[in-house]
Structure 1
């Protein structure tokens, strides 16, 4: 019983050392970011990217962060995890297979991966610390407080520099996300507004050209004597002539024949027809009968919803539908 109590006391003391190290590490990490990267931090907060780029900033052990640690006589690992159960969630002795030879020969990333797997670490991980060739518990608490401040400062400088370097990309990503949100909202507004059919059609045409611009398709509104077209665009070297329609009823065969006639003088152009109300059987028949000489890609409401509301990639969707159009040439009736 005395031996068990002694082991429990030693384990508790070891956990206290780990907790002390972690507290000082987190504290100096935040202090370093505040001191050297205040402008970067504020912009990251504005862009809602601080947690990704500075994962340990303003973290508190036992409040929103725990640690999982593993050690051997010549190795030590500590993982900061996103949890708030206890300060030191686990402190484990490394197994024999993760010995000094493994520490010496395995790469840093390989060692971390092996230890994570052995720990069966399931909590969301924020950061990791590895001290190879170090017997963590042979030093006193004062020593590890000093080490924690050195390590936490180095980690904060590394993350801060990385955040500063990545700010232009983060700004661009945030800007594009905002643009996508605005496009989606404009589309939803068209679905619920009290616009006249003519005004809604005009706004839908403009919205579609803005979507093309967002995806880098360089749309143009062109007017030719006796012919009105909603847009032309360029995608992967293809010239595209397109029309948009938001009617109360599906497109008919007559509407499709009118569109196909515009492709007669443009043999190298692919047609893109966008109909929020879909297509009737006559329209589909006209499009398919023309596939040997004219290619038309058609989008219906499902496709439009995918682009505006579910952030599908326009190029991927267009390529998928273009292949469907071309593959029709080679379709066979398996029933014959």
Structure 2
């Protein structure tokens, strides 16, 4: 694998970017002191290359070259940037079949991901298979409701992490979906699943009140919403009090703009998800005033497109 500088230099070639939707929020407050940009992906499913130019719905879209070029551009323009993934990194192309996740994790490391959570397909090579790829990751795997005691992943993931950007403290934790009935038992082995709702409430309160975080972010692979009572991002937002942003995955939901949901305290929770296959990159811009009041000033869904000649 190339080093990160060479990799990013090459990705700037043959890449195109297209804004797919904006979410205007009005003028910035006069008390603005700090800007924070959060970039995010979900359900990339081993799509390292753009979709082929074969006349299909997604032809020419996606690919790590276009994604890396945009990430590099944003980091040049913004001082404080965080980059997250909401799970299902693996499965979907021959890259995974042949290399069991190594190129996917290496590419994320080269792009400078700050953290990810786990999706159900990240168990497709088994717990041991996922653990074997972690030496290639220079970012943490955050998952709070899976217990990996007595498995190959014991001690190799974290429930949460606090990121410092300037004078900001951003607390981030991860939640995974119920594995039973979705993932073969031999794949998840001795992994224990715990109800995400009480864990989310406990951790978000800890991060906001005890750790003094200015923003609490959940990386969720629970799914956007369901017709029944199955726990989803929308339910998670309504039934907790201290989460500010939920970056979701699993249901492959293309949101052109974030959803705002009132939590139990009557405050807005931002829920966002950007489909699947690395076709889009989510971009959320926040400002924090001198009292650390947070405002979402802009949200964009950026379609990643391979530039073609002709």
> TM-score, length-normalised on structure 1?
0.28
Higher share of residues assigned helix: 1
Larger RCO, structure (CA 8 Å, separation 6 or more) = 2
Higher share of residues assigned strand: 2
Report which of the two structures shows the higher radius of gyration computed on alpha carbons. 1
